[in-house]
Structure 1
Amino acid sequence: MVESQQTMGEKIAVVGGGSWATALIKILTENQVKVKWWMRDAEAVAHIRKYRHNPHYLSSVELHPSKVKPYLQLREALKGVDWVILAVPSAFIEDALKDADPSWFEGKKVISGVKGIISSTSQLVTDWFAEKFAVDPQHLGAIAGPCHAEEIALEKYSYITIASASEDTAKEFAKLLTCRFVKTSYLTDLHGVEYAAVMKNIVAMSCGIVHGVGAGDNFQAVMVSNAIIEIQRFLDTVVPLERKVNVSAYLGDLLVTSYSQFSRNRTFGNMIGRGYSVQAAKVELKMIAEGYYATNCIQRINEQYKVDLPIVKFAYDVLYNKEKPLKAFEELKGKFV
């Protein structure tokens, strides 16, 4: 647990204009910080300046102009800040940062709020960022844990874990996200936490698919129970490290994403299970389901490691091999204990 510090003077840039970016800004402004918020939507920036809320996402969250200033120019948003938070869906992050220069991030600590993977390279976000922008790996971290943006907007009590290879970086940033409705902790299993977040999206999407074809709560409970074993099996092979996956950064995030009404991955999967095409589900959801892209990436990564991943294979067969969801479900049923 990290105690809240209300007198902090750090300056933070948040990159991204969606619901998670808005929720993170709400948390940050509970403390004495200055937030420079970059987004690409000129109309949204103008709206925030005039009406003090995001017009498209979590519009109930009031944004205080003394603490939050929106920007259209990324370079300007990054000037003079101590921390940079990435809150852009993984499918868009390369495009969002395509014009950025490594010098813009010099001396800054960068925290990924992206619970996804870079689809073009199958890289974890922190690895991709370190390679592209030459940021010291000790200055990189990731946000983990069961924490839906919609509940943050409602100030529902939540738990967040900050992971970094540097304990100091993790601990420092955890303090910034500690407030009256958020409890934080930290750990040093950065890559394990990132992979777990990627895989829980695949599991949640798969839960939606099987629900869409008629499976009930009993089967989903068995599926999620087996999923944490599958995730641990993958982590122990790809990122060998002593870890406890039954804590909130791993299991908690898996559970909330698999069961919550706010889970876009579960919702997306449910559409697929009910017969929607991938394209139709994307259009109706109107938000990114990270699990769709993650499925292809984890499948590709696992070609090297050959870990037994029945849930990943199930999702891949349905989404990319175009296997009928009901047929894939019948095959999946025999894989669990």
Structure 2
Amino acid sequence: MKPKSTYTSELPCIAIIGGGSWATAIIKILSEKELKIKWWLRNEEDVNYISQYGHNPHYLSDVQINLRKVKAYTDIRKTVEKARYVIMAVPAAFVQQAMQGLLPEHLAGKTLISAIKGMIPGENLLVTDWVERDFRVPAERLCVIAGPCHAEEVALEKQSYLTIASQSIDQAADFANLMSCRFVQASPTDDVYGIEYCAVMKNIIALACGITHGLNYGDNFQAVLVSNAMQEIKRFIDHIYPKHRDLSGSAYLGDLLVTAYSQFSRNRTFGNMIGRGYSVKSAQVEMNMIAEGYYAVKSIHEINKEHKVSMPITEMVYSILYEKTPPHTAVQALKEVLR
């Protein structure tokens, strides 16, 4: 039986773009508040299924969607209409395609939030920079969701922590309040670029951890790899966007650790398959999910051609995935520079 909907237009409105596990988890979090949530998915069959049964048929299917608060659409313009906040929660490789039905006027006056931990492939742009450029959204109306928070644990209501970044700390604080609930604590920061670049780079490091695990390197080596990786991230971010920041915080180090070690980490899983001998294509087909680090490492590699920051772990991952260097050979070379 189709659950009865008491969906009303008087509640504050938030739009979510994306039909995957992270989008589903964000909807679960927001449903803890009295909000009107408009959810865009590409597939009409998925929209019909969600509207009838209150579950995402493909991702986190155990999560009960509160149809009193959530309405699903395939029309993206209708989805963002009257929304105060628009959250982008699709892989970076597909966000341009997902948003192609929108024009700058459709987003005028709205706050855009990136829940995407990746870069725009081919353009080597952070998602916030792309939105600011192509949709003319002012920087103070852009936010980033970051932190060590896997969708699978949100689905299980495991205690989690998020950081909301915006150039406007008041804007970040307002949205952090919306993203806080009985099992999620969110806090604001103004370090937009630091948070966003760290979120991109920790996926690359997780690939490296997966590759070395697939090659049967142990916990001792993983610990050295991750500690060197944190130094590598700091060198790059401080060079790209100098600012006083504490990279030991949960949005930086915490996000790196959970992505490098968790069983839920897509990037670690992808890297592990590469280390065990899978080709890139075969690993992508078997996973049937996007590992953001695969695209991100190419973008960071190309950006760093200009800046020339020492990034041996990033370069190792790039050489394996894009130059077809055998993983064993690449890791052997990396071992000589780790300390």
- Alpha-carbon displacement from aligned partner over 1:127-157 (angstroms, at most 9, x marks no partner): 0001000001100010010000000000000
Quick check: 2:118–2:200 contact (8 Å CA) kept in 1? yes
CA distance in structure 1 between the aligned counterparts of 2:99 and 2:114, rounded to whole angstroms: 13
Q: Count matched residues.
A: 330
% identity of equivalent residues: 55
SS at match of 1:245: coil
Structure 1 residue identity aligned to 2:267: N
**Aligned equivalent of 1:82:** 84
Matched with 2:169 is 167
With normalisation by structure 2, the TM-score equals 0.96
AA partner of residue 85 (structure 1): I
1:46-85 pair list within 5 angstroms: 46-85=48-87
**Distance in 2 between the 1:304 and 1:189 partners?**
23
Equivalent residue for 2:296?
A: 294
1:249 corresponds to: 251
Residue in structure 2 matched with residue 272 of structure 1 by the alignment: 274
Shift of 1:9: 4.2
Match of 1:24 among 9, 26, 42: 26
Cα distance in 1 for partners of 2:252, 2:54 equals 35
- Pair 1:307 & 2:324 matched: no
| Corresponding residue number in structure 2 for 1:113 | 115
* Cα distance per residue 1:22-64 (max 9 Å; x no partner): 0000000001111000010111100001000100000111111
Contact 2:77–2:101 (Cα < 8 Å) also in 1: no
CA distance in 2, matches of 1:208, 1:121: 27
Compute the displacement of 1:252 (Å): 0.2
Residues 104-143 of structure 1: matches in 2 within 5 Å? Answer: 104-143=106-145
Return the offset for 1:10: 2.3
Pick the aligned partner of 1:147 from 140, 146, 149. Answer: 149
- Structure 1 unaligned regions, length at least 5: 1-7
* 1:141 partner SS: strand
The one-letter code matched in structure 2 to 1:13 is A
Report the equivalent of 2:5. none
Structure 1 counterpart SS, 2:113: strand
Structure 2 CA distance for aligned equivalents of residues 335 and 90 of structure 1: 31
Separation in 2, partners of 1:115, 1:186: 17
Name 2:3's counterpart in structure 1: none
In the alignment, what sits opposite 1:4?
none
Secondary structure at 1:288's aligned position in 2? Answer: coil
- C-alpha distance in 2 between matches for 1:10 and 1:258: 37
Q: Does the 8 Å contact 2:119/2:299 carry over to 1?
A: yes
Q: Distance in 2 between matches of 1:267 and 1:179?
A: 30
Q: Which runs of 4+ in 1 moved over 4 A?
A: none
Helix, strand or coil for the counterpart of 1:304?
A: helix
Pairwise CA distance, 1:100:
1.4
TM-score scaled by structure 1?
0.97
User: For structure 2, which runs of at least 5 residues remain unmatched after alignment?
Assistant: 1-9
Match of 1:234 in 2: 236
What is the distance in 2 between the residues matched to 1:310 and 1:278?
21
After superposition, where does 1:189-268 map in structure 2 within 5 Å? Answer: 189-268=191-270
